[in-house]
Structure 1
Amino acid sequence: MGFKKMLGAFGVGGPKVDTVLTEPRRRPGETLAGEVRITAADYAVDVQRVSLGLVARVEVEHGDGESAGALEFGRADAAGAFRLEAGEDRVLPFELALPWEAPITEVHGHPLHGMALGVRTELALAKAVDKGDLDPVAVVPLPSQERVLDAFDRLGFGFKGADLEYGRLHGVDQELPFYQEIEFSAPPAYAGRIGEVELTFVADPVGMAVVLEADRRGGLFGSSDQVFRLRVGHEEAVSLDWTAELARWLDDLTGGPSGHRAGYADHHGHGGDKGHGHGGGPGWAGVAAGAAVGVAAGVAGGMIAGEVLEEVFEDDEGDEED
């Protein structure tokens, strides 16, 4: 799968670039491999570098609400400086590591609505830089993550959508400047007691944090957000009975079939920030809904790991319509 585009920044007769991924479907922590195929220009050009970047659409909260931008969160060079002679083609192999915290975009062959992630090829000449097209990448879950997602399906949760939120989860070791929220509607048995549940994975080579945020309905205050997290190794996660764990969490959160709430976390007023706290269940930590998440007041204040690319996805959508 590849995209070919006349690099308009270099004028008529300039080089063309076709980026081909060997396997565009990878897991977090794996490596994307492929080739950048440069078709000769009608004239000699001095190439400064050929780079590839991982780009994702990220939601950013600010005083006026929320806006979406594109963030580069990984980069590799396919080549440094070289001269491309007139009529000369060039094939450049590359490898680009997917971070362990890379967001999931596909589960069991089904894309997650709301996710947009890809590899962007950048060709820099002496006096111009062309960002090139975006080559979509599918990130499928690790076996440990897949076990959790399968349990959500077995319990009757309905998938609603997914997005990436710019910011940091308090109390969770996190390298990327954003985290993924996979949104589910509550199972029918809990209708009226839970609105929606958001699932977040923060993985590393050893294990992962599983963070759940539930909108609990009813009671004196109308509704409240409850946040829970569990740190688990990948091997343990594969063998854990997640269906039973999640069912127990739901029952404790809502009072369960008997109407008696065992209690993972205390009741709090409405709020949506994720953080840390104390709770009762085996391994689960209950979180006060108002606990702080380290979200920067603005994008420029903290987006050091990547470049804001506001129009990458919009440009690609426009190209497809042409």
Structure 2
Amino acid sequence: MVFKKMLSALGVGGPSVDTVLTNPNTRPGLVLDGQVNLRGGDTAADIEQITLALVTRVEMEAGDSEYAGTMEFYRLPVSGAMRLDAKQELSIPFQLPVPWETPITDVYGQRLRGMTMGLRTELAIARAVDKGDLDPVAVHPLPVHERILEAFAQLGFQFKSADLERGHIHGVQQTLPFYQEIEFYAAPQYAHAIREVELTFVTNQQGVDVIIECDKRGGLFTAGHDTVGRYTVSHAGVDQVDWRQQVEAWLGQTVSSYASRPGFGHGGRPGKQGHQGHHGHHGGMGGMVAGAALGIGGGMIAGELLEDAFEGDFGDE
């Protein structure tokens, strides 16, 4: 998407900026490339800096209340101080690295309900910063993410929603100030034991920490509580794992973990404890899981068009 933003501080006739992404689709660990196009206004202007920033919508907590706010999680200066003459046209190419922990927004061409992300351009001139508009960005899963999500769909779990929680997960090396929770309704064969499952990926260059939290049902004399399991997988050898069998094993271990310790789980919000769990073990090796797209069958359908989502989630700040 190309956006045009006149600098309101300078009024009509000031410089304008267009940011153009070569491709708005990306994956964690890759890059977004494009160019920032400047056009001088009626008079020369001294630009102090041009910066690009990845921003997203994050659930936060303030006191006893919760709210969703826009959070910046990566910045890239693309230009330092420069003078833009009247009517001058200038194009600045850029390559913006996408952090490995960047949350997934799209699966099999469908936007995850609850997820929004954009690339913001900031133009600093005369000690004023104009934040411009946003280019929508779509972050697609890496192969290991896809296989795990496919396995949940094959087992009958139905996608509920996804969001980002501000905070850190206990015991997991994490660089971003938030983590993603992908929520599923329990599959029929698990419904007697659990209500819902929350899936979190914390990704790095070598592999992924997979955190599974089960909302476990209570018994006749026991209250329901959360159980959490943490499992580590590598990017290598993804196609040699039977992921359905692997996820079944993880779920079995997670449901049985800490069964006698109600409340042993996570808060996930500022000032509260993060996820706690244990290292799991890799399951048996086998053939690649047959394709099971998390489309209509898996419930991975966006509730609105991407443009509408940005209007609602990234309004006036």
TM-score exceeds 0.5: yes
Q: Return 230-239 or 139-148, whichever deviates more.
A: 230-239
In the alignment, structure 1 segments of 5+ residues that lack a partner are 255-262, 285-311
Shift of 1:7: 2.1
Mapping for residues 172-187 of structure 1, pairs under 5 Å: 172-187=172-187
Deviation at 1:118, TM superposition (A): 0.9
The answer for the alignment partner of 1:45 in structure 2 is: 45
Query: Secondary structure at 1:243's aligned position in 2?
Result: helix
2:260 equivalent among 264, 267, 274: 267
Name the residue aligned to 1:162.
Answer: 162
**Which range is displaced more, 87-96 or 59-68?**
59-68
Matched, 1:231 2:240: no
Provide the rounded CA distance (Å) in 2 between the counterparts of 1:68 and 1:313. Answer: 14
Q: Does the CA-based 8 Å contact 2:228-2:257 persist in structure 1?
A: no
* Whole-angstrom CA distance in 2 between matches of 1:217 and 1:315: 34
Equivalent residue, structure 2, for 1:296: none
Q: Deviation digits for residues 11-36 of structure 1, max 9, x if unmatched?
A: 11111111110111001010110011
User: Are the counterparts in 1 of residues 264 and 276 from structure 2 also a CA contact under 8 Å?
Assistant: no
Name the CA shift for 1:315/1:275 in 2 (closer, same or farther; >3 Å): closer
CA distance in 2, matches of 1:86, 1:209: 52
Secondary structure at the counterpart of residue 96 of structure 1: strand
Q: How many Å separate the matches in 2 of 1:91 and 1:160?
A: 43
Match of 1:190 in 2: 190
Q: Measure the CA separation in 2 of the matches of 1:271 and 1:43.
A: 63
Amino acid in structure 2 at the alignment position of 1:282:
H
Give the corresponding residue for 1:70: 70
Residue-by-residue CA offset, 1:240-274 (whole Å, 9 max, x unaligned): 222112223444556xxxxxxxx343332246414
Q: In the alignment, what sits opposite 1:112?
A: 112
Cα deviation digits, residues 135-165 of structure 1 (max 9, x gap): 1110001111111111111111111111111
Q: Distance in 2 between matches of 1:108 and 1:234?
A: 19
CA distance in 2, matches of 1:174, 1:112: 22
Gaps of 5+ in 2: 267-273, 284-309
Output the CA distance in 1 between the equivalents of 2:218 and 2:314: 44
C-alpha deviation, 1:283, in angstroms: 4.7
Aligned-pair CA distance for 1:238: 4.1
Shift in alpha-carbon separation, 1:158–1:141, aligned structure 2, 3 A:
same
1:160 maps to a residue whose letter is K
Tell me the alpha carbon deviations over residues 176-198 of structure 1, each in whole angstroms, 9 at most, x when there is no partner.
Answer: 11111111111122224211101
Query: Do the aligned partners of residues 176 and 318 (structure 1) sit closer, same or farther apart at CA in structure 2, a change above 3 Å counting?
Result: closer
| Local SS of the residue matching 2:69 | strand
Amino acid at match of 1:268: R
SS in 2 for 1:115: coil
Q: Sort the Cα spacing of 1:238 and 1:145 in 2 relative to 1 into closer, same or farther, 3 A.
A: farther
Residue 173 of structure 2 aligns with an amino acid whose one-letter code is D
Contact 2:229–2:253 (CA<8 Å) still a contact in 1?
no
Please give the per-residue CA displacement for 1:204-251, whole angstroms capped at 9, x wherever unaligned. 111110000010113132311010011111114443222112223444
> 2:124, 2:55 → 1: CA distance?
18
Q: Residue 144 and residue 227 in structure 1: after superposition, are their counterparts in 2 closer, same or farther (change >3 A)?
A: same
Deviation at 1:9, TM superposition (A): 2.2
Which range moved further: 7-16 or 97-106? 7-16
| Distance in 2 (alpha carbons) for counterparts of 1:127 and 1:218 | 58
Tell me the TM-score normalised to structure 1 length: 0.82
Distance 1:187 1:28 in 2: 28
Asked if the contact 1:14–1:42 (Cα under 8 Å) also holds between the matched residues in 2, the reply is: yes
Identity rate, percent: 51
RMSD: 2.2
Q: How many Å apart are 1:79 and its aligned residue?
A: 1.1
Q: Give the length in aligned residue pairs.
A: 283
> What residue is the counterpart of 2:245 in the other structure?
244
Report the Cα distance in structure 2 between the residues aligned to 1:193 and 1:80, rounded to whole angstroms: 58
Cα distance change of structure 1 residues 171 and 252 upon mapping to structure 2, 3 Å threshold: closer
The equivalent residue for 1:23 is 23
Distance 1:162 1:224 in 2: 21
Q: Is the contact between residue 27 and residue 140 of structure 1 (CA under 8 Å) also seen in structure 2?
A: yes
Structure 1: how far apart are the matches of 2:196 and 2:48? 49
